[in-house]
Amino acid sequence: MNRKESSSIHLFLALVFCTLISVNIKAQGNSNIKEEVYIHLNSSTLITGETLLFSADIVSAKTNKHSNLSEILYVEIIDEDLKPIHQSKIRLSKGKGYGDFFIPSLIPTGSYQLIAYTRWMKNFNQFYHHPLQIVNPFEVYTPNPEKNELSVTFYPEGGNLVKGIENTMVVEVKDYQENGVDFKGRVVDQEGAVIANVNSILPGFASFTYIPDNNSQYQFIIEDLSGNFQFFDVPKVHLNKYTIQAQVRDKYFSVKIACDCEDALLFQVYSGSQQILERDVRSNEEFNLTKYELKEGALLLRALKNGVKISERIIYNRPQRKPLRETINETYKTRTLVSLPIDLEDEARFSISVNKVNNNGIPLHSGLSQKLLNGVRELHRFDDSFLFDPKMEKHTNVLMLASSWKYGASQDEIRFLPDHRGEMVSGRIVYPDSLDLENQYVAYSMIGKEYQIKVAPVMSNGEFNMVVDPLTEDREAYITGMDNLMGDMIEIDPQFLKSFPELVYPPVILDSARVGEIVKRSIRNQIENAYFEVKADSIEKPVPYIEQFGRFDYYYVLDDYNRFPTIKESFIEYIPMVAVRGKDTAQEFRVSLKTVIKPKQEPYAFLDGLPVRSEEILAFSPYRIESIGIINNRYFMGPRVIDGIVSFRTKEGNLQGFVPGPQSQALTYKGVSPHKTYTFPVYDNDEIGESDLKAKIPDFRDQLYWNPGANVGSGDIYTIEFFTSDTKGQFEVIVEGITKEGKSLSLRKYFTVE
């Protein structure tokens, strides 16, 4: 991102932070600061005990260049019951980040969805998703009872059938395992006359055209797997309906909003979550959409009447360029160096995966195909191979008629600020009308030896926002009212989604051939896990901790002094700049400031980073306190002014049994995933001997190499180097990334190990 774009983002954020009010989505759309997420997975079909590796690119929806807007990516894996089995926060650097998920043996065999989003994307109901299949080889697999009957689903073009005009209907036919099957059938009217013959063009899919009569009932007849005929009622015509009809031409789409009426309508085109075209049209009048003027990939066509949606459908605008695929005419031996030069021509940031080819399960979509299918819910239906094939363009558009759009309407206001220059914590005060919110503050504390405290003012509408520095470990945390707010008045916005979008979960089908391959794969994986400690990746060390309050004016380690039965006595005996005034529950600290000004604000006490009231900490056991730090000066904690700080540390740094008062609410802070350096075996083939330890360690890796953060300059050659393992078969090198100018990169190479 260049300086001009970066300045625009910072200016935009400054305006949002200064106003902290709801922003009209339409006005926001003019700024074009929307994000999209694309993720490179090492595999979409895994077994328990393996590790899912992923590298994420967060780009501007307008330019496709890496975005600097967000610094945190939220990743979840959800099951068919819409329950998360994994949640992680990924730190982003200039629009790129990476992470992994070890799949434990408790995860059952099933279909899952990986979804990812930034906090900013939640304002627009945007998210990334990719289907996953996980097989647990240690559980009993019970296949569906074998049946000969077929199931049929109908998809009218544009969502509606309109009487008196030619309609297109897509038919999906599946067997008892929900696999698409090749089929032949026919559509008949109530008199038995054949209206259309129907032959599948793809496994499980066909289309036919007919002119329905609203007084007739039509049936679809098909022969099932046992040779018997099955009859299915075709959906009925509904009066006063509209349908968007689109014909695929060589250079354009011919479009018409058909109905048995004459109306003025509004026509819109969407790419992903962005509206790219809007025009006034009349029903039944044909118009053209020129392909080169549209974005490539899946596009949603929508028709509205008086602001109400009346029809929508998806079309597919095939791209002119294909992803690069190359089969390397060379066979490698086990534990041999492989060196592959990659010429990407442009300056780019990308990720590299080298994995054993797996043709079973769900297709692994390239970054380019992910962008082309952005918005489509049923990703599992589409294979990369025919997304770029001119001969398959009409077939792809048939599949699009049977697909649905995952993006709904955007919210009416901006609710979530982006995680820019830190991690946002936001919420609101649920308060009675009589409560005055002026000069009210809340504090967010992450407890520990290396604690962190952030303070934010409460706005007049009861909302608050603050930025915390991300930590790489889960922490006990608290949100605290610093004045007369109680903890149960404070609501924190959840960082992860509260509800999940409706997605499709294709069934896991295991035949004998696939079971045999899974058994072999599981054995290799168990051997690898047995030597995990020898081959473990290294985790980058965190940045050294800097004391939240800086350097204390006075610092007391209590073991250096005589211990007293109460904390109050410690202050009386050897901490003269802090006095304890009052009795029992009315006790409070008074700090003698080193400045000559008279204190105007109250001092504040903290325990392991938690704001506490004076009477609460004075009632705590002094034998659990390790140290006391004093700042006897005016201190600015964000917007809050404090005249003096008394900071207590427990010996264990975890509050050590202290029970927070009613002004605090307990939370759990989920840390961001730490950065890793992924390591892989290196062999010196000329010097391997019987005494060489590496030669004696089994190496049955399927994943030969993974680099989530590679980069190359313009015109430079990038060389991928790695060693093969003892696993034989065909392997795939996948390179996915984004150039400096926003061009998507997708490259695949294949080689064999014998």
What per-residue confidence (pLDDT) applies to 410?
Answer: 67
The stretch 444-471 carries a mean pLDDT of 94
Is 26's pLDDT higher than 50?
A: no
- pLDDT band, very low/low/confident/very high, at 429 (cuts 50, 70, 90): very high
Domains of the chain: 151-317 (2.60.40.10), 417-492+543-673 (2.170.130.10)
Q: Give me the half-sphere count of Cα atoms (radius 13 Å) on the Cβ side of residue 254.
A: 7
The arithmetic mean of pLDDT across residues 548-562, rounded, is 93
Q: Average per-residue pLDDT in the chain? A: 89
Give Cβ neighbours of residue 413 (< 8 Å, ≥ 6 apart).
22, 23, 24, 25
DSSP letter at 126? -
Comparison of pLDDT for 410 and 16, the residue scoring more: 410
Whole-angstrom distance, CA of residue 272 vs CA of residue 60: 12
Question: Which one has a higher pLDDT value, 254 or 688?
Answer: 254
| SS3 letters across 315-344 | EEECCCCCCEEEEEEEEECCCCEEEEEEEC
pLDDT number for residue 335? 94
Are 50 and 103 within 8 A, CB to CB? yes
pLDDT of amino acid 215: 82
pLDDT at 686: 54
Residue 540, pLDDT score: 82
The CA distance from 368 to 380, in Å, is 15
- Look up residue 370 and give its DSSP letter: H
Helix (H) or strand (E) holding 32: none
DSSP state of 142: -
Half-sphere exposure of residue 32: CA atoms within 13 angstroms, side-chain side: 10
3-class SS of residue 150: coil
Lowest mean pLDDT among 30-34, 74-78, 158-162: 30-34
Q: How confident is the model at residue 18 (pLDDT cuts 50, 70, 90)?
A: very low
The answer to whether residue 127 scores a pLDDT higher than 60 is: yes
For CA atoms 644, 649, 655, 658, the dihedral sign is: negative
Helix runs in 73-115, H state only: none
Return the H-helix or E-strand segment holding 596: none
pLDDT at 688: 47
Which pLDDT score is estimated for 582?
86
Say how many Å lie between the first and final Cα of the chain, rounded.
45
The distance between the two most distant Cα atoms of the chain, rounded to a whole number of Å, is 104
Nearest to 374 by CA among 322, 314, 419, 313: 314
Q: Which residue has the higher pLDDT, 6 or 513?
A: 513
* pLDDT score at 56: 98
Per-residue tokens: 647: 């900071």
Bridging pattern class, strands 640-650 and 604-607: parallel
pLDDT, residue 406, reads 92
The pLDDT of residue 738 is above 80: yes
- pLDDT band at 742; cut points 50, 70, 90: very high
Q: Which of 454-468, 500-514, 681-695, 723-737 shows the lowest mean pLDDT across its residues?
A: 681-695
- For residue 30, what pLDDT is reported? 39
Q: Tokens representing 264?
A: 């003025």
* Residue whose pair of structure tokens reads 């380019």 in the numeric block: 368
Cβ–Cβ under 8 Å, residues 92 and 117: no
**CB 739: neighbour CB atoms within 10 A?**
20
Give the pLDDT confidence of 689-736 residue by residue, as tens digits: 444 666 678 999 999 999 999 999 988 899 999 999 999 999 999 999
- Note whether 595 and 633 are within 8 A (CB): yes
What was the pLDDT predicted at 501? 87
Overall average pLDDT of the 112-139 stretch: 95
Q: In the predicted model, is pLDDT for residue 310 greater than 50?
A: yes
* Assigned token pair, 309: 């949606």
Q: Quick one: tokens of 237? A: 């015509």
Average pLDDT of span 475-480:
97
Are the CB atoms for 605 and 612 separated by under 8 Å? yes
- Residue 112's closest CA among 146, 74, 89, 86? 86
- pLDDT of amino acid 434: 67
Asked whether residue 282 carries a pLDDT value surpassing 90, the answer given is yes
The amino acid at 349? R
In 103-183, DSSP assigns E strands to 110-117, 128-135, 151-156, 167-174
d(CA 668, CA 494): 11
Which pair of tokens denotes residue 477?
């945390």
Judged against a pLDDT cut of 70, whether residue 664 lies above it is answered with yes
Average pLDDT score over residue span 210-232 = 89
Dihedrals φ, ψ of 419, to 5°?
A: -80, 75
375 DSSP β-pair partners: none
User: What pLDDT, on the 0 to 100 scale, is given for residue 47?
Assistant: 97
Beta bridge partners of 257: 244
Q: Residue range 527-540: average pLDDT?
A: 82
